[in-house]
Amino acid sequence: EEQARFYQQRDPEGGVALVLGADDVASVPLREALHELFVEGRVVALAVSPRSALLGAILERALAPLVSRGLLRFVYGGADVSAYLAAHPAVAEVHVTGSAAAHDALVWGPPGPSQALRRASGERLLEKPISSTLDGVSPVLVMPWLYGGDELWFQARVLASQVVSNASPGSHAAQVLVLPRGFVQRPLLLRLLHRALSAVPPRRSGHLDAEARYAALTAGRAPLERELLDGSPDAPLPRGIVRIGEPGPGELPWTLVTGLSGSDADEPLFSTEPRCGLLSIVEVGSSDPVEFLAAATRFCNDRLRGTLGASIVAHPISAEDPAVGAALERALIELRYGVIAVNQAPAAAHAVVVPPWGAHPSATLADIQSGLGFVHNTAMLGQVEKTILRAPLTTFPRPPSFCDHRRAHVVGERLAACAAD
């Protein structure tokens, strides 16, 4: 009854949906436009961000059958064009991708006292149905267990690959590594993570203000040598930053920020999506898996801004313990994220397109977090709360998404050719 609701209607109304495209991942606005077309049953005006305008001609050619039939229209321009289209009476619904700040400016007006008053009173500037997929701070939880060296090395590369992909401009990139206090394999994991990041030269970020964000988020944090992370796991990590790589002009080093307190409500790294190749590390709970999962769930729900994606590294043997298995399932239920991946990056759910992709439905327009509503959703499921994606601890062959995959470009071309056929 809740599945494919649009297709169950005898005389569906349809309408025009405006998709406001962000510029962090070029495929995002395109996929969300296709969702509006085929799942929601609306024709689409796709507002292409200025930075992605060069791709417009390619995308229009790829989707020529939809464009020629008047089902999809590409629109170019800046914030003024987006605001005009959002307010246009022909537009029935708006879908926003990008930042929560851009969403709030559209709904409540420019930042300032007037925006705060309108938000408090519920007086919206845009009185239309609005859905969104927005930014947030995405955590990776590592359950305490005795992992094999090859298992930790695999997961270190899963983590590093999220950080270095386009210099981590996407909301689904790993941004906070949540470790158990007293985790005996902490030194090994951090050495392997450093090794994986060191193998990738620094690169330019895909985000416009990456350098300013990096400067603000690292200000006042002392530089550390990597060897200082090798200390006893019974002692907290030292507070500071470990820079990795030699950046060139316009580039930023991969950076680990250590020694953060999970109880610090004012820590900017808990409320700001870095988008600059920066990974924070915080320790919570204890080396007991049940205690850790409970503490990590509270930390993520109560301290981190955003509700889009999270991941958990969990040894499959751990689930054979009834108490640990139950604690893991409880964490998967209680974590307020729309996409949770076990032993995999949340972006995998985005890449395959089939599962619902979106923020946890606990958000509101007044407190938007990482957005409202789900996209993709090829099976057209209704009443979605979250997507849970499970993967083995290691896989073979090496995933082409790995930052150290030497033939990823070849695999990518062949996958594209296969899909085209």
Burial class (CB in 10 A: 0-12, 13-18, 19+), 67: middle
Percent of the chain's residues with pLDDT above 90: 77
370 in a structural domain: no
Predicted confidence (pLDDT) at residue 238 exceeds the cutoff of 90: yes
pLDDT of residue 60: 92
Residue 157 and residue 286 in one domain: yes
pLDDT of residue 226: 87
The per-residue pLDDT for range 11-32, each reduced to its tens digit, is: 888 899 999 987 777 788 889 9
20 in a structural domain: yes
The per-residue pLDDT for range 279-307, each reduced to its tens digit, is: 999 999 999 999 999 999 999 999 999 99
Whole-angstrom CA distances from 250 to 58, 203, 210, 256, 274 are 28, 8, 10, 19, 16
pLDDT of residue 239: 96
E strands along 196-300, which residues?
240-244, 254-260, 278-284
- How far apart (Å, rounded) are the C-alpha atoms in residues 138 and 178? 10
328 in a structural domain: yes
If you average pLDDT over residues 146-151, what whole number do you get?
Answer: 97
- How far apart (Å, rounded) are the C-alpha atoms in residues 359 and 133? 7
106 in a structural domain: yes
Residue 202: count of CB within 10 angstroms of its CB: 21
Task: Report whether 371 contacts 133 (CB < 8 A).
Answer: yes
421 in a structural domain: no
If you average pLDDT over residues 124-143, what whole number do you get?
Answer: 95
- Of 99, 134, 169, which residue is a domain's last? 134
279 in a structural domain: yes
If you average pLDDT over residues 101-108, what whole number do you get?
Answer: 93
Residue 114 and residue 146 in one domain: no
Domain at 118, CATH number:
3.40.605.10
Residue 332 and residue 211 in one domain: yes
Given pLDDT bands bounded at 50, 70 and 90, which one contains residue 198? very high
Given pLDDT bands bounded at 50, 70 and 90, which one contains residue 107? very high
| Local structure of 134: helix, strand or coil | strand
- How far apart (Å, rounded) are the C-alpha atoms in residues 151 and 170? 26
Task: Report whether 309 contacts 172 (CB < 8 A).
Answer: yes
Residue 398: count of CB within 10 angstroms of its CB: 16
Residue 18 and residue 76 in one domain: yes
pLDDT of residue 354: 92
346 in a structural domain: yes
Residue 122 and residue 160 in one domain: no
If you average pLDDT over residues 231-238, what whole number do you get?
Answer: 94
Predicted confidence (pLDDT) at residue 56 exceeds the cutoff of 90: no
Task: Report whether 217 contacts 242 (CB < 8 A).
Answer: no
- Of 115, 134, 153, which residue is a domain's last? 134
Which of 346, 360, 306, 374 shows the shortest CA–CA distance to 100?
Answer: 306
For residues 415 and 118, which has the higher predicted lDDT (pLDDT)? Answer: 118
- Of 134, 150, 182, which residue is a domain's last? 134
Token pair for residue 179?
């470790």
- Residues whose CB falls within 8 Å of the CB of residue 339, separated by 6 or more in sequence, listed in order: 172, 308, 309, 310, 346, 349, 350, 355, 357, 358, 386, 387, 389
Predicted confidence (pLDDT) at residue 61 exceeds the cutoff of 70: yes
Give the count of domains, the chain.
Answer: 2
The per-residue pLDDT for range 352-380, each reduced to its tens digit, is: 889 999 999 999 999 999 999 999 999 99
pLDDT of residue 28: 85
Domain that holds residue 83: 14-134
pLDDT of residue 406: 85
pLDDT of residue 169: 65
**Least confident window among 64-68, 169-173, 340-344:** 169-173
Domain at 351, CATH number:
3.40.309.10
Residue 100 and residue 145 in one domain: no
Residue 59 and residue 189 in one domain: no
Residue 174 and residue 266 in one domain: yes
Please, which residues bridge with residue 141 across strands? 178, 312
| Local structure of 270: helix, strand or coil | helix
Residue 262 and residue 403 in one domain: yes
Average predicted confidence (pLDDT) for the chain:
93
If you average pLDDT over residues 323-336, what whole number do you get?
Answer: 98
Buried (b) or exposed (e) across 127-151, using 16+ Cβ within 10 A? eeebbbbbbbbbbbbbbbbebeeeb
pLDDT of residue 17: 97
**Least confident window among 13-17, 41-45, 130-134:** 13-17
For residues 149 and 79, which has the higher predicted lDDT (pLDDT)? Answer: 149
Residue 129 and residue 143 in one domain: no
Given pLDDT bands bounded at 50, 70 and 90, which one contains residue 183? very high
For residues 310 and 102, which has the higher predicted lDDT (pLDDT)? Answer: 310
Output the pTM of the full model: 0.94
If you average pLDDT over residues 337-363, what whole number do you get?
Answer: 94
Task: Report whether 210 contacts 418 (CB < 8 A).
Answer: no
**Least confident window among 12-16, 118-122, 177-181, 303-307:** 12-16
Residue 111 and residue 63 in one domain: yes
Residue 104 and residue 153 in one domain: no
395 in a structural domain: yes
Predicted confidence (pLDDT) at residue 322 exceeds the cutoff of 90: yes
